[in-house]
């Protein structure tokens, strides 16, 4: 059977092009030490969201699609996370959230950093910034859009529906705080701007790079059932990432160390941290990692990295640390 030269070349080039496209769409790496998380699960309908502040407009907690959202009831409203420190974003961070579009009027969400010195606008069909407007038309103009932001020392990247649309390699002023502005003219028809599932975290650098640079990985995005050592399903992708790293670098050996917050008594927390470390080890062994490459230890509540007087601080202390041996 004979094939043309063009056909043979296409068979070689097409897989490479598809691989490059897939890599571009999936290269976002979420930070692993949570700075701010708001699922809105325990908020009261009609009240102002308790983890936020506002400097213009009006927002309230709304019920939408069987879940809570932050609804912007006044056009051109601007909200920001309620934090203890004025400047809370580290030199490496990620931000994740979802925004909703009704396909009505001049809808849009703008994320500001450091007041309004750095910004980009999220539209129905793409991202607009000082660098230009990159459009990606959506099959369905109505619905939720996933937005992810990654900052690494001076480079700012924005992902829209999983694809990187904005890449600013040199941001002159490092972002240290953020706010979200929503512009919507559909309020009179109950077509409010809405956001949900907001998460800010420190990190976003490939695991292997961080491990060999710092000698450790502090991760609080491995979640367990309350007071148990059962790993939640939303943490399985994180464990798979660690397993992939270990498979790619078979010389690495790790100490897996569990930590808890200060709730409960000291002895119970010590035992719980040991069981959680062992559960993580077992999960990695199930992913084809040899057990002799992994040791475990529990520290209970004895090594906090934040104060235990807030939900955010406790979340940071409930973590698993991987130490390079």
* pLDDT tens per residue, range 230-273: 999 888 888 998 999 999 999 999 999 999 999 999 999 999 99
In the structure, what pLDDT confidence band is assigned to residue 153 with cuts at 50, 70 and 90? confident
Q: How many helices (H) and strands (E) does the chain have?
A: 5, 19
Report, as an integer, the average pLDDT of 311-319.
Answer: 86
In the structure, what pLDDT confidence band is assigned to residue 188 with cuts at 50, 70 and 90? confident
d(CA 162, CA 141): 17
Query: What is the reported pLDDT for 33?
Result: 84
Query: What is the reported pLDDT for 26?
Result: 46
CATH fold of 25-203 reads Jelly Rolls (2.60.120)
Placement of tokens 């040199």 in the chain: 170
* Range 182-213 burial, b when 16+ CB lie within 10 A, else e: bbbebbeeebbbbbbebbbbbbbbebeebbee
Q: What is the mean pLDDT of the chain?
A: 88
Q: Does residue 316 register a pLDDT over 90?
A: no
In the structure, what pLDDT confidence band is assigned to residue 97 with cuts at 50, 70 and 90? very high
Report, as an integer, the average pLDDT of 165-170.
Answer: 92
Based on the number of CB atoms within 10 Å of its own CB, is 134 exposed (0-12), middle (13-18) or buried (19 or more)?
middle
Q: How crowded is the C-beta side of 89, counted as CA atoms within 13 Å?
A: 26
Report, as an integer, the average pLDDT of 189-206.
Answer: 90
Is 140 in contact with 115 (CB distance < 8 Å)?
Answer: no
**How many C-beta atoms lie closer than 10 Å to residue 321's C-beta?**
20
| Structure token digits, residue 231 | 């790993």
Domain map (residue ranges) of the chain: 25-203, 207-324
Is 174 in contact with 91 (CB distance < 8 Å)?
Answer: yes
| Structure token digits, residue 320 | 């698993």
Query: What is the reported pLDDT for 284?
Result: 96
Q: Does residue 291 register a pLDDT over 60?
A: yes
Is 321 in contact with 218 (CB distance < 8 Å)?
Answer: yes
Q: Does residue 172 register a pLDDT over 50?
A: yes
| Structure token digits, residue 27 | 């290269």
Is 182 in contact with 191 (CB distance < 8 Å)?
Answer: no
CATH fold of 207-324 reads 60s Ribosomal Protein L30; Chain: A; (3.30.1330)
Segment 10-37, tens digit of pLDDT: 444 444 444 434 444 447 888 888 899 9
Query: What is the reported pLDDT for 279?
Result: 96
Query: What is the reported pLDDT for 5?
Result: 46
């Amino acid at each position: 059977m004979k094939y043309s030269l063009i056909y043979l070349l296409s068979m070689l080039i097409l897989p490479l092009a598809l691989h490059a496209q897939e890599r571009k769409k999936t290269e976002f790496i979420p930070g692993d030490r949570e700075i701010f998380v708001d699922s809105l699960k325990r908020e009261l309908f009609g009240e102002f969201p308790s983890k936020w502040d506002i400097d213009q407009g009006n927002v309230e907690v709304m019920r939408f699609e069987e879940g809570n959202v932050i609804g912007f009831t006044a056009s051109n409203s601007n909200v920001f996370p309620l934090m203890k420190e004025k400047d809370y974003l580290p030199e490496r961070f990620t931000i994740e959230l979802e925004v909703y579009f009704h396909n009505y009027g001049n809808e849009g969400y703008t994320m500001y950093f450091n007041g309004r010195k750095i910004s980009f606008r999220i539209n129905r069909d793409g991202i607009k910034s000082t660098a230009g407007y990159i459009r990606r038309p959506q099959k369905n103009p109505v619905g939720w859009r996933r937005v992810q932001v990654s900052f690494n020392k001076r480079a700012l990247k924005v992902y829209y529906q999983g694809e990187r649309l904005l890449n600013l390699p040199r941001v002159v002023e490092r972002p240290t705080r953020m706010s979200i502005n929503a512009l919507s003219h559909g309020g009179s028809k109950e077509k409010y701007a809405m956001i949900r599932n907001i998460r800010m975290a420190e990190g976003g650098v490939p695991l292997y790079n961080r491990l060999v640079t710092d000698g450790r990985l502090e991760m609080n995005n491995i979640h367990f059932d309350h007071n148990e050592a059962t790993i939640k399903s939303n943490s399985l992708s994180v464990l798979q990432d660690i397993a992939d790293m270990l498979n790619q670098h078979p010389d690495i050996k790790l100490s897996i160390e569990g930590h808890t917050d200060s709730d409960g008594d000291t002895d119970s927390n010590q035992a719980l941290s040991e069981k959680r470390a062992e559960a993580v080890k077992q999960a990695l062994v199930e992913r084809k990692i040899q057990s002799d490459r992994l040791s475990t230890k529990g520290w209970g509540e004895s090594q906090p990295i934040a104060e235990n007087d807030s939900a955010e601080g406790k979340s940071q202390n409930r973590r698993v640390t991987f130490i390079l041996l």
